[in-house]
Amino acid sequence: MVLVVATLVVGGLAAFYLGSQSTWLDGSTQALTQRDATLLVTTIVDSVRAAGRAVVSDDPDPEHQMLTLYADAAGTTACRCFYWHDSLVYMGANGPAPGDQPVVVSKVSRFRLATQDSTLVRLDLVEIPCPDGWRLRLSGAAALYNSR
Amino acid sequence: MGLAYSFGNARALVNRYAAARVALAAAQRRLEMLAVLDPSAPELQVGTTHADDVVVDGTPVAHESWSVAAYDDPANGTAAGPTDLKLVTVTVSWGASAPDQQVQLSRFFPAR
């Protein structure tokens, strides 16, 4: 009888421990994902604000795009680019290069952008999935303050 | 029981922060979109209030509104009129729009 009760108590404690660990890990992962998403959007917004011209291109499809920024409105040499490759968003100087580093370590499942009237870059969708199936979807925009 | 309660609360906070980050990004997005408009645009007329849904990936996730108020710069008194600047306040709310389910940002815009 004592053995049965002890087994039940230990089993309950173990189940609670495992459940709480799962909740803890899921919550921590989500929090890290949220921070990465904000950092990614902020990094892109800061770069766009300093740029004069932006070009968005499919890379390789409309759900994964590349943003190329130029220093001024008439500029022909790119000064910065953001592109999706192998589930990560990378930042490069004037085009994708082997030494480029990802902006954040979180994997990005969709990276959709658009330009508007040569004065605005819209981040229509930054989607970052979590291991538990939850997905953070964020959007933003930044003005090209050097376009005039 | 206390431990389980605290874990549940922590998880709810994480979810709330997710919604708040989306709302903050939406508010910043709206201010940037207004920043590229001409000061005489209907969206920037003093005394007006505008509202719209925040749509992410085709799904409405929050509600946004922005109001435009005249701002008199105290540095020059009323010499150049009562509207030296426009104060645009963007409010993004989600859920039941309770006070802790809102994000509000303000920015000055040129009057003309």
| Out of A19-28, A130-139, B36-45, least confident range | A19-28
Query: CB of A55 within 8 A of CB of A68?
Result: yes
The arithmetic mean of pLDDT across residues A103-120, rounded, is 92
pLDDT tens digits, A51-87: 999 999 998 899 999 999 998 888 778 889 999 998 9
Q: The sheet that has B85-93: what strands, in order across it?
A: B49-56, B59-71, B85-93, B102-110
C-alpha span between A3 and B20 (Å, rounded): 50
**Interface size between A and B, measured as CB pairs under 8 A:** 74
Beta carbons of B29 and A120 less than 8 Å apart = no
Average confidence score pLDDT of chain A = 89
The arithmetic mean of pLDDT across residues A38-47, rounded, is 94
Interface residues of chain A, partner chain B, Cβ below 8 Å:
16, 20, 23-24, 26-27, 30-31, 34, 37-38, 41, 45, 110, 116-117, 119-120, 122-125, 127, 136-144
Q: DSSP assignment, residue A79? A: E
The arithmetic mean of pLDDT across residues B12-31, rounded, is 89
Query: CB of A139 within 8 A of CB of B26?
Result: yes
Written as one string, the DSSP assignment of B19-36 is HHHHHHHHHHHHHHHHHT
C-alpha span between A41 and A77 (Å, rounded): 23
Chain A residues within 8 A of B30 when measuring between CB atoms:
141
B36 Cα to chain A: minimum distance (Å): 6
Interface residues of chain B, partner chain A, Cβ below 8 Å:
3-4, 7-8, 10-11, 14-15, 17-18, 21-22, 25-26, 28-30, 32-33, 35-36, 54, 56-57, 61
Q: Which of A120, A37, A95, A102 is nearest to B21 (CA)?
A: A37
Beta carbons of A141 and B17 less than 8 Å apart = no
Q: Residue B78's pLDDT is what?
A: 65
Q: Which of B71, B95, B98, B75 is nearest to B83 (CA)?
A: B71
Q: Render the burial of B87-98: b for 16+ CB within 10 Å, e for the rest.
A: ebbbbbbbeeee
The arithmetic mean of pLDDT across residues A37-55, rounded, is 93
The arithmetic mean of pLDDT across residues B89-94, rounded, is 95
Q: Would the pLDDT of B80 be above 70?
A: no
| B9 three-class SS | helix
Q: Residue B65's pLDDT is what?
A: 95
Beta carbons of B56 and A125 less than 8 Å apart = yes
The arithmetic mean of pLDDT across residues B36-64, rounded, is 92
Q: Residue A48's pLDDT is what?
A: 94
Q: Residue B109's pLDDT is what?
A: 92
Q: Residue B79's pLDDT is what?
A: 63
Beta carbons of B25 and A41 less than 8 Å apart = yes
Q: Residue A79's pLDDT is what?
A: 86
